[in-house]
Amino acid sequence: MFSMSAVKALHSFEKLTALGVHLGSSAGEASVHSQAAASQILDLCWPELSKALPDHGLPRGVTEIAAPHAHGGGTTIALAAIRAAQAQGSHVHCAWIEVEGGPALYAPELLVAGVDPARLLVVRAPREALGRVAVKALATGAFALVTVAHGAHVPADSREPRGRTLDERAVRRMALAGEECGARVLILTDSYFSHVPWPISLRLEVTRLPETIHVRVARERRGRIGQAKSVPLRTRPRGPLGQAPSLSRARPSRPMDESTHEATLPSASSF
Amino acid sequence: MRVVAIVLPSLALEVTKVAPSLALEVTKVAPSLALEVTKVAPSHGHEVTKVAPSHGHEVTKVALGGGHGPGLGPVGLRAAANAPRAVVLASRDDMDESSLTGNVRLHAVCPRARNVGIFPGQTIAAARAREASLSVGLVTEEALVRALERIAEASLAFGATVAFARGVAGDDTVWVDVTGCAHLFADSPRSLASFDDEEPSYAARGEAAAREGEPRLLARLGAMVAGLGHEHALALAGGPKIARALALSMVTGTTGSRSLSLVVPPGADREAVASLPLEGLPLDEATCRTLRRLGLRTARELAALPRSALGSRLGASALTILPLLEGDDRAPLTPYTPKKAPAETVELEYGTDSLEALGFVAKTLTTRLASRLEGRGIGVTKLTLVLELDARARLDAEARETSSASSSATATSTSTGPRPKRTRRSLTVTMPMPVVSPKEMLVILRTRLERTRLEAPVLALTLRADEHAPRVEVPQSLFEPESRESRAIPLLVAELLAELGEGKVGKLALGDSWNPAERSVLVPFFAKPKPLPPHDVGPSLSEQASPEPSVLLPEPMPVARSLVRPFRFVARYESLAWWREPSGQSTKRDVLAATLEGRAAIVDLDKTNGAARVLGWLD
């Protein structure tokens, strides 16, 4: 009888610990825990976005960023995360896995976001191989952050067979592979794509407006959900970390020499 | 001059066709079936009730009986591994095992066959009369030369000049000129231990290091040859003939030494030759017999004879033998120059399409190719695996498919012309960095094989290093471990390239173009960045700069202009690459940032016809 209640008590304690409640912890222990927790969070160096996130950064494990048609600001957030990860050391590499034949990551935007392209491995894989390639990349232990751009949901009536997208098992494999080497995984998905809950640390639902990204926490390991915030895009980090934005002139908007042609911005009515 | 002779007494026996079934160790089999046994495992010692007697060292079909009962169990083939073996040298190209009749003479025999009185030169009929279970294989001259080339090429890691010679059975030899190389294998502090009192001269240090390095060099060379799967005897002496004679005498066991490597110190060649028996010298059989009749047994006794008498006794061979007896061997080596693209081939005894079996054969190929690359100090950057497929099996399969498809037809047409025996299929893998490790090569090859569908059984495999580059040696820090990234990423990239194909793996770079679609290019991951022209400063980091799309569509997507809600002007292009336009007319385009049903996009507006196309998304 006594042993049964002891087991129950132990289970309750484990549950509470999992929820972040530390019973009877001293100040020293608390500080150790807070330090450990801080090391688990990747600061994105984007204060406005950090405020919208439960831990003010990207947690370890798998994070899903869902957007309508998979185009709601997920790439901008992912690039900020890659920039922050690369800033941890000159040897830190990241990987970007996208669907072959789908929208492709754009090099100029990469440079604007301050990502070092030499330390970002880009893989264009068939949709059904996304999970396998991601696990393979994570298993090497060479990448601090692996982003899987799953792309827009394939409608059921398309020629592509159903069930050939990321599933729960693939995400679990990614989570396990990432856990072993301490890597983070970002999955950019279509919010219209309904699936069974994945074993993830955080799910953000984002919507892109011309000047802002609306971020809502839809799922979180400790239940801190519902938090929503609009993040202005002008505050996004630009250029490499620790380097002031370049004062170089913008790329000319016209192919011809400026001296021969004068720039004339069209008015809204002329569109 | 310091030369190592590597004598390979069993080369012909070692270079035989590979049975793909040897590839795997089958641990579980269904006892009720006739099974393909995939590895000889003598330690298991299970009884085999039926053994196909065609090959001595492996068995193709067996049925299990006895002690296993209805369950599953490991298979062992004890009897097959113990059978004596012999090899016949193919006298023509189209010779196969079916043409081995009783009057064909043996080229080489294994020690077990020798023990029962079977020797090279006997006919198969005579040998089988002595031992009925003798297994006879076939080896081609080409295969033997390929094996010697492999060893010679791998030996380039030990000396600048290598050479080889085919001999009669049991004396195939590879020479390595290691003059001035031995000190590289010495341990410096120990070699200087003898110079306690005075500062040694440069020459003295070199001699001491060479003395210490020679046994180590020989040990490493021996390990390399053993790693390639060859029995060998090594001798290091002052000339190629002396070294070969000493190594051969070790093989035949006439020196009484059990060691298979021997270092003759510089200047001691005469003594070393003197210890040889008469058979160890390059004398013809008749001269050797005559000298034996005169009571001579060793080279020392021969050297003691007066030179004038010896000259007449030895005849024409006196010119070779007399300097040898003095320890003077200045025979030049004919250097072997390796082919530009090193290649390895394995012929299978019968066709297989099992990926596991092919993976095992690929392991052999990669190990051999890696040893060649190691010898030349290079790494492979482009690897080609050529599969020779059984064309007849392929044609038969195609005929079956055709006949099943046209079920209404009662008769199938058969081709009357000559049918090709083999068809070739090449699989190419590109490596991002020079790869030397056989393990890495194997991982990449296996990935490529896994995504290959074989339409017929494979009869032979050739692995070729089509492109190679000097191996990159990265200096390591004593205090900092090698970074995980530097080791893992090249292999991952190569593996992904093998799996996904070219142009699917790399890094992004700015393209030198005004066209937005050509502004972003995927380049090989380890390619050096191409410098952009001076006028191109890249995208602006200013907040006021025009937005760039986050992702670009593979093809612009036409949209109704009424759906486009512009919020930012990006660029205006006129006559952009007009020569590529189908009509050849100049075009005017406005590129805008716009919303499209709530999604931010970069839209291209054609000013001439008003068409709108989405170039990419602001994600």
A166 exposure class (CB count in 10 Å sphere: 0-12, 13-18, 19+)? buried
Q: How far is B538 from chain A (nearest CA, A)?
A: 7
Q: What is the DSSP string of chain A?
A: -HHHHHHHHHHHHHHHHHTT--TT--HHHHHHHHHHHHHHSB--S-HHHHHHSTTSSBPSEEEEEEEGGG-SSHHHHHHHHHHHHHTT-TT-EEEEEEETTS-EE-HHHHHHTT--GGGEEEEEE-GGGHHHHHHHHHHHT-EEEEEEE--SPPPTTSSSPTT-S--HHHHHHHHHHHHHHT-EEEEEEETT---SPPS-SEEEEEEE-SSEEEEEEEEETTS----EEEEEGGGS--SSTTSPPP-PPPPPSSSS-TTTS---PPPGGG-
Q: For residues B345 and B361, give the distance between their C-alpha atoms in angstroms, rounded to a whole number.
A: 10
Cβ pairs bridging A and B (under 8 Å): 203
Q: How far is B466 from chain A (nearest CA, A)?
A: 25
Interchain CB distance below 8 Å, B564 and A271: yes
Give yes or no for a contact between A147 and A68, defined as CB atoms under 8 angstroms apart: no
Give yes or no for a contact between A113 and A79, defined as CB atoms under 8 angstroms apart: yes
| Overall average pLDDT of the B521-533 stretch | 83
Other residues' Cβ atoms within 10 Å of the Cβ of residue A191: 20
Lowest mean pLDDT among A94-108, B33-47, B95-109: B33-47
A239 versus A172: which is more confidently predicted?
A172
Interchain CB distance below 8 Å, B507 and A123: no
The chain-wide mean pLDDT, for chain B, equals 78
The structure's pTM equals 0.71
In what order do the strands lie in the sheet containing B564-574? A104-105, B551-559, B612-617, B599-606, B588-596, B564-574
| Nearest Cα residue in chain B from A124 | B504
Q: For residues B248 and B233, give the distance between their C-alpha atoms in angstroms, rounded to a whole number.
A: 7
Please give the share of chain B, as a percent, with pLDDT higher than 90: 15
Q: Is the pLDDT of residue B369 over 90?
A: yes
Which residues from B are below 8 Å from A100, CB to CB?
500, 504
Q: How confident is the model at residue B404 (pLDDT cuts 50, 70, 90)?
A: low
Please work out, in degrees rounded to the nearest 5, the angle formed at the alpha carbon of residue B187 by the alpha carbons of B182 and B188: 100
Give yes or no for a contact between B118 and B86, defined as CB atoms under 8 angstroms apart: yes
The chain-wide mean pLDDT, for chain A, equals 75
The encoded tokens of residue A79 equal: 């690039």
pLDDT tens, position by position, B221-268: 999 998 888 888 999 998 899 999 999 888 876 444 445 888 888 888
Residue B497 φ/ψ, nearest 5 degrees: -65, -40
pLDDT tens, position by position, B552-580: 998 888 998 888 888 888 888 887 777 77
Q: What is the distance of C-alpha A21 from the center of its chain?
A: 27
Q: Determine the pLDDT at residue B282.
A: 83
Q: How far is B360 from chain A (nearest CA, A)?
A: 22
Q: Determine the pLDDT at residue A137.
A: 94
pLDDT tens, position by position, B129-159: 998 888 888 888 888 898 999 999 999 999 9
B196 versus A45: which is more confidently predicted?
A45
Q: Which residue among B507, B551, B590 sits closest to A75, beta carbon to beta carbon?
A: B551
The dihedral region occupied by A24, where left means phi > 0, alpha psi between -120 and 50, and beta the remainder, is left
| Nearest Cα residue in chain B from A188 | B619
Give the domain ranges of chain B.
3-9+142-193+201-325, 343-402+420-474+483-500, 545-617
pLDDT tens, position by position, A199-224: 888 999 998 887 888 999 988 877 78
Q: Which residue among A117, A129, A265 sits closest to B569, beta carbon to beta carbon?
A: A265
Which residues from B are below 8 Å from A72, CB to CB?
599, 619
Q: How confident is the model at residue A122 (pLDDT cuts 50, 70, 90)?
A: very high
Nearest of B590, B597, B596, B555 to residue B576 by alpha carbon:
B590
Q: Which of A46, A76, A92, A106 to mutate to test the interface with B (most CBs of B within 10 A)?
A: A106
CB proximity under 8 Å: A 144-163 to B: 149
Give yes or no for a contact between B234 and B6, defined as CB atoms under 8 angstroms apart: yes
CB proximity under 8 Å: A 42-81 to B: 67-76, 79
pLDDT tens, position by position, B432-488: 888 888 999 999 999 888 888 888 889 899 999 999 998 877 777 888 777 777 788
ipTM of this model?
Answer: 0.77
Torsion over CA: B253, B258, B259, B264 (sign): negative
Which residues from B are below 8 Å from A150, CB to CB?
none
Q: Determine the pLDDT at residue B78.
A: 38
Q: Determine the pLDDT at residue A159.
A: 54
| Nearest Cα residue in chain B from A115 | B508
C-alpha neighbours within 13 Å on the C-beta side of residue B201: 3
The encoded tokens of residue B506 equal: 């790399």
Please give the share of chain A, as a percent, with pLDDT higher than 70: 69
| Nearest Cα residue in chain B from A266 | B569
Q: Is the pLDDT of residue A147 over 90?
A: yes
Highest mean pLDDT among B50-54, B133-137, B384-388: B384-388
Q: Determine the pLDDT at residue B70.
A: 33
Other residues' Cβ atoms within 10 Å of the Cβ of residue B267: 9
- CA distances to A134, A155, B275 from A126, in Å: 12, 16, 71
Delineate the domains of chain A, giving CATH numbers in brackets: 55-155+163-235 (3.40.50.300)
Q: For residues B536 and B546, give the distance between their C-alpha atoms in angstroms, rounded to a whole number.
A: 16
B343-402+420-474+483-500 has which CATH code?
Answer: 3.30.1490.100
Q: Determine the pLDDT at residue A163.
A: 46
Q: Is the pLDDT of residue A31 over 90?
A: no
Q: Is the pLDDT of residue B589 over 50?
A: yes
> Residues B418-424: contacts with CB within 8 Å, 24+ apart?
B419/B391, B419/B392, B419/B395, B420/B391, B421/B390, B421/B391, B421/B392, B422/B388, B422/B389, B422/B390, B422/B391, B422/B459, B422/B460, B423/B388, B423/B389, B423/B391, B423/B394, B423/B456, B424/B386, B424/B387, B424/B388, B424/B389
| Nearest Cα residue in chain B from A93 | B485
Q: Determine the pLDDT at residue B576.
A: 74
Whether A106 has its CB under 8 Å from any CB of chain B: the answer is yes
Q: Is the pLDDT of residue B533 over 50?
A: yes
Please give the share of chain B, as a percent, with pLDDT higher than 70: 79
- CA distances to B478, B554, B595 from B588, in Å: 62, 22, 22
Q: Is the pLDDT of residue B31 over 70?
A: no
Q: How far is A53 from chain B (nearest CA, A)?
A: 19
Q: Determine the pLDDT at residue B390.
A: 85
Q: Determine the pLDDT at residue A242.
A: 58
Q: Is the pLDDT of residue B346 over 50?
A: yes
Q: Determine the pLDDT at residue B596.
A: 85
| Nearest Cα residue in chain A from B488 | A140
Whether A214 has its CB under 8 Å from any CB of chain B: the answer is no
pLDDT tens, position by position, B64-97: 333 333 333 333 343 445 678 888 888 777 777 7
Which residues from A are below 8 Å from B544, CB to CB?
250
Which residues from B are below 8 Å from A135, CB to CB?
none
Q: Determine the pLDDT at residue B140.
A: 86
C-alpha neighbours within 13 Å on the C-beta side of residue B371: 24
Interchain CB distance below 8 Å, A118 and B568: no
Q: Which amino acid is at A203?
A: R
Length of chain A counted residue by residue: 271
Helices B355-376 and B438-450, axial angle in degrees (round to 10):
140
Q: Which of A98, A206, A254, A271 to mutate to test the interface with B (most CBs of B within 10 A)?
A: A271
Q: How far is A183 from chain B (nearest CA, A)?
A: 13
Interchain CB distance below 8 Å, A108 and B520: yes
Interchain CB distance below 8 Å, A136 and B492: yes
